Amino acid sequence: MRICPLATRFKGSGLLLAVLVAGEPAAAQTLPASDAAVPSILSNPRAVVHVYVEPSFNRMADWRARIDALKAEAAARQMPISHEVTNGFRSWGGTLLVRVTPRILLGGELGMIQDEDTFGVTEPIGGIFPGSTEFGVATETVGRNAQLVLAFYPREQSRAHFQVGAGMGQSHVLFHSRRAAADGKGTGPILSALFGTEWKMFYLTAGARFNRMRINYTRLDDLGLVRASDLLANDAAVRELLRDPNVDLSGVFVRVGVAFRWFPD
């Protein structure tokens, strides 16, 4: 029996079509396997490092009235103020966090706080050779702190988080004016809370800290005089030091920095 060539071609085309139709579900079943092989872009890192700075945003409250009072006294005596720094508050530091659960990280934070308030006064000098002289009034506080911190992420694979911390801080205070000087150190607790987020490599957060400590002054003198009666009689700022020797670096802050995420899952 002869088979028509057209029928042969039809049968071959039908067989090819049947194979394609039958093989289509099998190909569709292999797609999820290939998708599962693609790694997650938002994989959770096992360690996170934040390096930050705090711009000038605050001024140490305990020294504000003291410096402002001395500045007002200089203005009342008609002594021109040549220069001044009235917002010298800045801070920087770093945080290391290690993941213990998908949404909780534990770690530590080291930070430094520096606050400076100063102004210079030009005082005229009379006599046979008239002229002028300049003297400064300044206070500078340098604080270091270490905290244990806990960061909580509301959702897995999220960059937004809450962080709380507690630890100890240490401060070194230097004060000098034309008639007096002071030098002291102290320690005290530090507590902090913040909300932060990450975008690519950038880190942005806002929060508040409590960091108040008592300063023990190892130096309180006035042109070599070390008797408290002499100090009390000469300089109002030193009287304030003796009456309230505390340093308060508490306040709200805004941090900007960079984030490093290591060892993704």
List per-residue pLDDT tens for the chain, 265 residues long: 554 554 444 455 454 444 444 444 444 444 454 444 444 445 678 999 999 998 755 555 555 666 777 777 777 777 777 777 666 678 899 999 999 998 999 999 999 988 887 888 777 666 676 666 777 778 788 889 999 999 999 988 788 999 999 999 999 988 877 777 778 899 999 999 999 999 989 999 999 999 888 888 777 665 343 343 343 344 555 555 555 667 788 888 899 999 999 988 7
**Cα 146 to the center of its chain, rounded Å:** 13
The pLDDT value given to residue 232: 39
How many CB atoms sit inside 10 A of residue 256's CB?
12
pTM across the whole model: 0.69
The pLDDT value given to residue 235: 55
Work out the angle between the directed axes of helices 236-243 and 61-76 (0-180°, nearest 10).
Answer: 160
The closest alpha carbon to 94, from 51, 59, 134, 56, belongs to 51
Helix (H) or strand (E) holding 131: strand 131-152
Which pair of tokens denotes residue 156? 């897995």
Residue 202, strand partner residues: 199, 258
Residue 48: strand, helix, or coil: strand
Length of the chain: 265
CATH number of the 44-264 domain: 2.40.160.20
Which pair of tokens denotes residue 11? 């049968």
Q: Which residues have CB under 8 Å from 129's CB, separation 6+?
A: none
The pLDDT value given to residue 93: 96
The closest alpha carbon to 50, from 81, 113, 94, 101, belongs to 94
Residue 139: strand, helix, or coil: strand
71, 119 Cβ separation under 8 angstroms: yes
The pLDDT value given to residue 236: 57
172, 156 Cβ separation under 8 angstroms: no
The pLDDT value given to residue 99: 94
Q: Are strands 131-152 and 104-125 parallel, antiparallel or unpaired?
A: antiparallel
Which pair of tokens denotes residue 124? 């005229």
| Measured distance CA(91)–CA(81) in Å, rounded | 27
The pLDDT value given to residue 101: 93
The pLDDT value given to residue 249: 81
The pLDDT value given to residue 187: 94
Q: Which residues have CB under 8 Å from 16's CB, separation 6+?
A: none
For CA atoms 219, 225, 226, 232, the dihedral sign is: negative
